[in-house]
């Protein structure tokens, strides 16, 4: 079939397998171009491995350090007349490339919150890999069925305390408007913490520890975001922010557990704002990202997911480096984004942006390009008018 992008709201409902493979190859090429990452991980578990920072971590681990990787994700394969999700195609492309290069790569597709998938993962590690020395936790999900209670928790993207009004942009139509987001109630706030907080990360680490599948000195990292004052009411000070506070609580608890197990460590890496399927769904944030891209590209400091993760691995985690923490004990790979000159420039542009000057004052074109690349569209060298087989299996 001939596959074209079909965008509905903040998601593209089609994905291109050849384009996704080309996108993966771009990431691989970047990591290889930076040279080997010495003293890197050997056995890596990535929970949330099919897109975004989790996928970039997996690419970096294998093609930077030659690591064996096991990826856990929840993606839909193709159906009759319907392409698979981009994460499905991404994972196939990565797996094929890694195995061709001589690296172990295995995948588990299912609900990472469930006990069944945890047990399947443990069995695979015990059979094929041996103890894990790096656990990357990078789940982004709108809901979670609690494995112990059976309760279904749904996350919301809302402020806490009072409604919030600010500018936003329809990234598909290029229209700037004002949006008011109602505040979350107590149940919604608690549910968001249950989905996006740290409990499941702790459950994964406990399961690995109980199975004696954590290597001495193992590292566990989860990814977070703080961002600028422009987005704080809907992010840092909103329901997501509350969940991230709980993630930091979990990091402290996991760090204590791993420190007692061969001097291991756990921490939060605060990463840069980027176009991802998750960030596209948050009101106000896409407009901020479009301005951020404009400013950082002009300064020559713009990075994507793979550049961020390669820098994290090469300058903080490995290569004989030491982790550099902020006052709250977090690693900051958003440091270039949060430089005063970058944020001051964004603050100057923000109040001026309208639908009429959106293209001039922001990098909305770059945003749209990066958004479509998430689904395998707009990659150089791909013939999007050609028939392509959508039914691809591992």
Q: Which residues are catalytic?
A: 235
Q: Distances in Å between the alpha carbon of 325 and those of 134, 189, 241, 304, 333? A: 19, 28, 19, 22, 10
Following CA atoms 106, 109, 111, 114 in sequence, which dihedral angle do they give, to the nearest 10 degrees?
-50
C-alpha span between 259 and 239 (Å, rounded):
30
Give the closest residue to 261 by CA, choosing from 219, 226, 228, 299.
219
C-alpha span between 95 and 111 (Å, rounded):
20
Characterise 212 by phi-psi region: left (phi > 0), alpha (psi -120 to 50), beta (else): left
How many C-beta neighbours within 10 Å does residue 327 have?
5
Angle at Cα 281 formed by Cα 381 and Cα 26, nearest 5°? 25
Q: What are the structure tokens assigned to 161, written together?
A: 């305390």
């Amino acid at each position: 079939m001939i596959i074209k992008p079909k965008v509905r709201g903040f998601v593209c409902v089609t994905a291109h397998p050849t384009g996704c493979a080309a996108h993966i190859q771009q990431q691989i090429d970047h990591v290889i171009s930076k040279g080997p990452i010495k003293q890197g991980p050997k056995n890596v578990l990535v929970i949330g491995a099919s897109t975004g920072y989790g996928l970039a971590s997996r690419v970096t681990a294998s093609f930077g350090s030659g690591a064996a990787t096991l990826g856990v994700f929840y993606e839909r394969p193709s159906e009759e007349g319907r392409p698979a999700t981009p994460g499905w195609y991404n994972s196939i492309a990565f797996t094929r490339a890694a195995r061709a290069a001589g690296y172990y790569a295995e995948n588990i597709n299912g609900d990472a919150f469930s006990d069944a998938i945890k047990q399947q993962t443990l069995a695979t590690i015990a059979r094929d890999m041996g103890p894990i020395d790096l656990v990357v936790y990078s789940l982004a999900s709108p809901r979670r069925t609690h494995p112990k209670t059976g309760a279904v928790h749904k996350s919301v993207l809302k402020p806490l305390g009072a409604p919030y009004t600010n500018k936003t942009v329809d990234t598909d139509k290029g229209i700037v408007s004002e949006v008011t987001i109602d505040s979350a109630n107590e149940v919604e706030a608690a549910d968001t913490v249950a989905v996006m907080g740290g409990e499941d990360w702790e459950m994964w680490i406990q399961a690995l520890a109980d199975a004696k599948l954590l290597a001495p000195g193992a590292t566990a990292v989860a990814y977070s975001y703080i961002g600028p004052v422009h987005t704080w009411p809907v992010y840092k000070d909103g329901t997501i922010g509350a969940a991230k506070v709980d993630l930091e609580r979990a990091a402290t608890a996991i760090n204590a557990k791993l420190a007692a197990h061969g001097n291991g460590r756990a921490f939060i890496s605060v990463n840069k704002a980027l176009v991802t399927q998750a960030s596209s769904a948050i009101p106000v944030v896409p407009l901020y990202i479009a301005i951020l891209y404009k400013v950082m590209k002009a300064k020559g400091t713009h990075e994507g997911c793979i550049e961020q993760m390669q820098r994290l691995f090469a300058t903080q985690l490995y290569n004989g480096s030491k982790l550099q923490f902020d006052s709250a004990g977090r690693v900051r790979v958003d440091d270039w984004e949060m430089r005063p000159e970058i944020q001051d420039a964004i603050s100057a542009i923000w109040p001026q942006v309208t639908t009429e000057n959106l293209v001039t004052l922001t990098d909305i074109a770059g945003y749209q390009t990066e958004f479509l690349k998430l689904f395998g569209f707009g990659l150089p060298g791909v013939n999007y008018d050609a028939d392509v087989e959508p039914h691809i299996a591992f």
